[in-house]
Amino acid sequence: MGLYYAKIRAHQEPAGTPWSAGGERFQIGSVMQGLGEGGDFRHGISGRFPEGANPFIRAWITQMLDYSDEQLIEMLRSELRSFGGGDNGDRMVDVFAGRTGNDGNPLVWPPSSNLSQLVLQSNGLGTAFENCKLHISVTVEEQLDKGYVDYREMRNMMPRGTLPLPHWAAHKEWLGAGGKLRGPLGGTQGAYAYIRNFNVFKDRWKVAMILGINLCDDFGVSDDDCYSPGLCAFWMLQHQRGYKPFKNYVYCEIDYSFMTTG
């Protein structure tokens, strides 16, 4: 058979990340649910209360009007720590406090990062990974029936609904890895599934690759998020004092290989 031998050669996002030297990422699917949009990504000086704020929230916000930025930042930091944020939450707060966040400068967490490893350990992406494996293996077998294998036909092949986004704020695993993700991530707003280092071994009829998911989330708050003093402090910084939200890109990767029917 005229098998197509190749390693991934495709556009990588974001460019220049050193850990991608072993093979560029080739996108096989994506899902977006409000990433970089809506109230949690707006910022500025509005001079208003959160929409629909109850008397308790208004009292918290009123009290915080006289707080310094440093006091509000420490309240936010304590909030994330109380929800298991640890060093990962501290890093996000530092980026936010440094006013370096913007749409063109996401905070990138490579596969080796602690945050990425926690996501894998929590199995929050388990269903998405299994769906990707299924569609990859089916596509390869269909191609083999035609006498070739070409990963390029897998671009954005994942059907709608096959990349469910994890939401650790509602996760039952409070004490495990999922509990440590409630603060830094909570809910998520997008994902890109990709493959790299794609190889076909003709002598063993084996297909091997690295399968990855870039999990995306906004680090920001909307009016609906103001249900604790720490999150009200977050809201004050973002919507009353101009601190900028930013995107988190959390790259999670697994090795994937399978034997074809030949």
pLDDT of residue 199: 86
Helices (DSSP H) in 84-208: which residue ranges?
Answer: 86-97, 114-122, 126-145
Chain segment 21-48, per-residue pLDDT in tens? 346 889 999 999 888 887 888 888 777 7
| Bridge-based pairing state of the strands 246-259 and 190-201 | unpaired
pLDDT higher than 60, residue 8: no
Decide: 219 and 92 in contact? Cβ < 8 Å: yes
Look up tokens 């500025």; give the residue: 44
> From CA 76, how far away is CA 72, in angstroms rounded?
6
**Lowest mean pLDDT, pick from 3-7, 60-64, 85-89, 175-179:** 3-7
pLDDT of residue 18: 33
Q: Which residue has the higher pLDDT, 140 or 182?
A: 140
Could you tell me the CA-to-CA distances from 187 to 67, 131, 181 in Å, in that order?
Answer: 29, 20, 9
pLDDT higher than 50, residue 10: no
pLDDT of residue 187: 82
pLDDT of residue 100: 66
Q: Nearest to residue 251, comparing CAs of 10, 20, 51?
A: 20
Decide: 60 and 189 in contact? Cβ < 8 Å: no
pLDDT of residue 212: 96
Chain segment 198-248, per-residue pLDDT in tens? 888 766 678 899 999 999 999 999 888 888 899 999 999 999 998 999 999
The helix or strand, by DSSP H or E, that contains position 23, with its residue range, turns out to be none
Q: How many CB atoms lie within 10 A of CB 149?
A: 23
Q: How many CB atoms lie within 10 A of CB 3?
A: 17
> From CA 144, how far away is CA 262, in angstroms rounded?
7
Could you tell me the CA-to-CA distances from 181 to 190, 213, 251 in Å, in that order?
Answer: 16, 17, 15
Q: Nearest to residue 49, comparing CAs of 65, 72, 70?
A: 65
> From CA 233, how far away is CA 72, in angstroms rounded?
5
pLDDT of residue 56: 85
> From CA 250, how far away is CA 243, in angstroms rounded?
22
How far out from the chain centre does Cα 217 lie? 5
pLDDT of residue 20: 35
Decide: 131 and 162 in contact? Cβ < 8 Å: yes
| Bridge-based pairing state of the strands 246-259 and 107-109 | parallel
Delimit the domains of the chain by residue range: 23-259
Chain segment 90-106, per-residue pLDDT in tens? 999 999 998 766 656 78
The dihedral built from the CA positions of residue 248, 16, 13 and 110, taken in this order, carries a sign that is negative
